[in-house]
Amino acid sequence: MPASRHREERDRQAVTEERLRIARELHDVVAHSMSVIAVQSGVANHVIDSRPAQARQALATIEATSRSALVELRRLLGVLRQGDDPVATLEPNPGMAELGRLADQIRSAGVEVDLTVEGEPGDLPPGVDLSAFRIAQEGLTNVLRHGGGVAHVLVRYSPGAVAVEIADDGRPSAEDDAPGGGGGHGLIGMRERVAVFGGELTAGPVPGGGYRMAARLPYAAAAGAGEGQP
């Protein structure tokens, strides 16, 4: 098999594997939301006569959670329509609240991490929260893997979007680091995650040395679109 065909086949396999992983994670987000709805509906049914205020609060939680779950379900259906049904757990997936812990893990492995957070996350949808964390995780892992001594991480929250930027202070130049390079499966995975949310991803060498990856995940328009559509 020619090298170019072998590379294309390897990249297609990497895309398929990443889509399956994304589908499993979004499936878990939806399953967790359904468990919350089940618990809160039981509460509302139990106290609706004796404590109507508590029942209204439970119903409000159900409304917000169900709307979010519907958005994530539409994303899940759009990620992949083939392969085995993923088995979900009821445990919530990691999110951006755990970015500090992730940074500490990378520091303990020998890479200095400069973490800056701008803005407030607000009502970050679970799927966006999870994908932003996975992108940051992959970016920091790449710095560790490719020898960057310092990782500069910038997270910027703005109305309707979250942006994650990771840059290092220098790494060896290699084909595998380049977008579309021979072994850039981590970058392929990040592109797939960003594409699910209609976001943007740029990655490449920085003049003077180093490498920079920047991703932006919008969510306001997607969360409000098509609420009444199947």
Q: What is the pLDDT of residues 47-80, one digit of tens each?
A: 888 988 988 888 888 877 777 776 666 666 655 4
Same domain as 112, residue 193: yes
Pairing of the two strands 161-168 and 150-158:
antiparallel
Range of the domain at 70: 3-79
Is 58 found in the same domain as 30?
yes
Q: Which runs of consecutive H residues, i.e. helices, occur in the chain?
A: 3-47, 52-79, 99-108, 126-146, 185-196, 220-224
CA atoms of 158 and 135, how far apart (whole Å): 18
| One domain, residues 45 and 120 | no
219 in the same domain as 119: yes
pLDDT digits (tens, 9 = 90+) for 25-49: 766 667 667 777 777 888 888 888 8
Give me the phi and psi of 167, to 5 degrees please: -130, 145
